[in-house]
């Protein structure tokens, strides 16, 4: 299983600070009318996972709509490609491509 992590924010010497969002095997496709569920984990500078509220977004909601931002639920609306991303606080993941198939 591939784990992708994205981070963009300020760092400090506090090893308990969340510095990355790990997205294990990000989803890469969903059918029109189907639901996609994305998962992510917040990681500290010490490498530990911690409880954090993670919000999800779609870069094009006409292709992939956000059904529940906190649960990582998306619904395919139209065939095409877009990207999704997660965030916690000011920390954002890298965008991950998703294809919506007919």
| Domain total of the chain | 1
d(Cα 10, Cα 6) in Å, to the nearest integer? 13
pTM: 0.80
Query: How far is it, in rounded angstroms, from Cα 20 to Cα 61?
Result: 25
Does residue 12 carry a pLDDT above 60? no
CATH code at position 90: 2.60.40.1080
44, β-bridge pairs:
18
Mean pLDDT score across all residues of the chain: 87
Percent of the chain with pLDDT over 90: 70
Domain, as residue range, for 95? 3-101
The per-residue pLDDT for 54 is 96
> Is residue 93 pLDDT above 50, yes or no?
yes
């Amino acid at each position: 299983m591939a784990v992708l992590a994205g981070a963009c924010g300020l760092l400090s010497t506090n090893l308990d600070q969340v510095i990355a969002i790990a997205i294990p095997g990000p989803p890469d496709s969903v059918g029109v009318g189907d639901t996609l569920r994305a998962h992510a984990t917040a990681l500290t500078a010490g490498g530990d996972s911690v409880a954090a509220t993670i919000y999800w977004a779609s870069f094009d909601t006409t292709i992939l709509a956000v059904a529940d931002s906190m649960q990582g639920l998306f619904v395919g609306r139209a065939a095409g490609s877009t990207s999704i991303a997660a965030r916690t606080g000011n920390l954002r993941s890298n965008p991950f491509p998703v294809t919506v198939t007919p």
